[in-house]
């Protein structure tokens, strides 16, 4: 109530997402517009998620942000554009209960404090920017009383980090690349909710906890500039695979889902290799995991497990059901005993959010 003495806070929690049709390459680096559509699965928040608290008060003299307890700079282009975009959409806040009123025009003058935590070590080598930017836009949208729906909010999250737009929805999500130059139609839509395809189990095999050597943004830029395979992929391959993947998800068709997911991962890494200078994200352990899965699937005659690797060596594995997930963990422990040279650091077993 008393002018100048209040703080309003909102806390939100957002899980990360794993892509099965890959996003790699931008046609606009400022707005973060991709060269192709992508599809992902949002994980359950018990294992890999970001929790963000945003606060506003007339006592704050500048915008500040803490990531896992450490203050980070907000002067970089991405945060500045991102916060400007959200502020421009803020509306009146009327909190009768606490007697706080914030007028639309006040948001330009008021400053924010943001505290964000990952419930998994950032050093685990698992991308956190996707959940982070999605969570931030969601929390700020609540705080500033934005009227936009989740897909609209995804266009803002996208401008923080491309893959973040997909974490605005749970379950199975498609990021539509869009056609407009201003990026208004480059947004995420939900294909199926988190209850769809309940059998699917996701296991993340943490191969290395080292930070990746080539950041996604730099890697993508170099790929766009130098890879002919990427042009073929964006124009010919992904447009065919998107409807196939949507069908596979709709019909709980694990065989097609696995075939497409593995092919997508392999083509993404082929595109990295086709970049000059070449980018290597997988290591020997990653490739051995691929062999274990491929041999098992071939032996069974029908796919039991699918793999996908992002911009790092960690494996994301999808088991067709719980029974298969247990067999998979047994196999991984057999082939990669914890103390061996090819040992894996840890496993994270998850579900959809
Ligand atoms: C994906 N990746 O579809 C792909 C597959 C990594 C490999 O989205 O530059 O961190 O912030 O838009 O979103 C990682 O890229 O990159 C990514 P920016 P982002 O999940």
Output the residue whose Cα is nearest ligand 1's atom 4.
23
Q: What is the residue with the minimal CA distance to atom 11 of ligand 1?
A: 161
pLDDT reading at 64 higher than 90: yes
Long-range contacts made by residues 149-154, C-beta under 8 angstroms, separation at least 24?
150/188, 151/187, 151/188, 151/189, 152/187, 154/187, 154/188
pLDDT tier at 207, thresholds 50, 70, 90: confident
What fold is seen in the domain 8-192?
Ribosomal Protein S5; domain 2 (3.30.230)
- Cα(215) to centroid of ligand 1, in Å? 9
Under DSSP, the state recorded for 252 is: T
Give the domain ranges of the chain.
Answer: 8-192, 201-350
CA–CA dist 287, 337 (Å, integer): 16
- What residues line ligand 1, using a CB cutoff of 6 Å? 19, 22-24, 32, 38, 127, 129-130, 161-163, 216-217, 268, 310-311
Query: Cα(321)–Cα(310) distance, rounded to whole angstroms?
Result: 23
Mean pLDDT across 50-71 = 95
Segment 256-282 shows an average pLDDT of 97
Q: Each residue of 153-182: pLDDT tens digit?
A: 999 999 999 999 999 999 999 999 999 999
pLDDT at 340 over 80: no
Q: What is the pLDDT of the chain when averaged over all its residues?
A: 92
CA gap 302, 296 in Å, rounded: 9
Quick one: residue 32, left, alpha or beta (phi over 0 = left, psi -120 to 50 = alpha)? left
Q: Which of 159, 161, 175, 177 to mutate to test the pocket of ligand 1 (most atoms within 8 A of CB)?
A: 161
Nearest to 159 by CA among 256, 81, 44, 84: 81
**201-350: what CATH class?**
alpha beta
Band (1; pLDDT cuts 50, 70, 90): very low
State pLDDT tens for residues 76-94. 778 888 899 999 999 999 9
Q: Is the preceding peptide bond at 141 cis, omega within 30 degrees of 0?
A: no
């Amino acid at each position: 109530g008393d002018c100048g003495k209040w703080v309003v806070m909102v806390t939100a929690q957002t899980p990360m997402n794993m892509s099965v049709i890959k996003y790699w390459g931008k046609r606009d680096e400022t707005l973060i517009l991709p060269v192709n559509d992508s599809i992902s699965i949002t994980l359950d928040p018990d294992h890999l998620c970001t929790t963000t608290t945003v606060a506003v008060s007339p006592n704050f003299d500048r915008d500040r942000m803490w990531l896992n307890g450490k203050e980070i700079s907000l002067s970089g282009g991405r945060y500045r554009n991102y916060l400007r975009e959200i502020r421009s959409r803020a509306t009146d806040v009327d909190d009768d209960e606490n007697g706080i009123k914030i007028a639309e025009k006040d948001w330009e003058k008021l400053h924010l404090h943001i505290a964000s935590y990952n419930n998994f070590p950032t050093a685990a080598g698992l991308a956190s920017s996707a959940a982070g930017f999605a969570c931030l836009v969601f929390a700020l949208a609540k705080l500033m009383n934005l009227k936009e729906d989740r897909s609209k909010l995804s266009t803002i999250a996208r401008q923080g980090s491309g893959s973040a737009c997909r974490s605005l929805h749970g379950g199975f999500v498609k990021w539509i690349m869009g056609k407009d130059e201003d990026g208004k139609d480059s947004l995420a839509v939900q294909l199926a909710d988190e209850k769809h395809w309940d059998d699917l189990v996701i296991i993340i095999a943490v191969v290395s906890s080292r930070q990746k050597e080539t950041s996604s943004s730099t890697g993508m830029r170099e790929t766009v500039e130098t890879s002919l395979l990427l042009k073929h992929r964006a124009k010919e391959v992904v447009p065919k695979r998107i409807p196939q993947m949507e069908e596979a998800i709709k019909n709980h068709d694990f065989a097609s889902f696995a075939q497409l997911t593995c092919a997508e991962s392999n083509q993404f890494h082929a595109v990295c290799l086709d970049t000059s200078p070449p980018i290597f994200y997988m290591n020997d352990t990653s490739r051995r995991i691929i062999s274990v899965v491929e041999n098992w699937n071939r032996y069974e005659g029908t796919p039991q497990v699918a793999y996908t690797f992002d911009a790092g060596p960690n494996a994301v594995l999808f088991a067709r059901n719980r029974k298969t997930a247990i067999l998979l963990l047994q196999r991984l422990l057999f082939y990669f005993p914890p103390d061996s040279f090819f040992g894996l650091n840890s496993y994270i077993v998850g579900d959809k959010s």
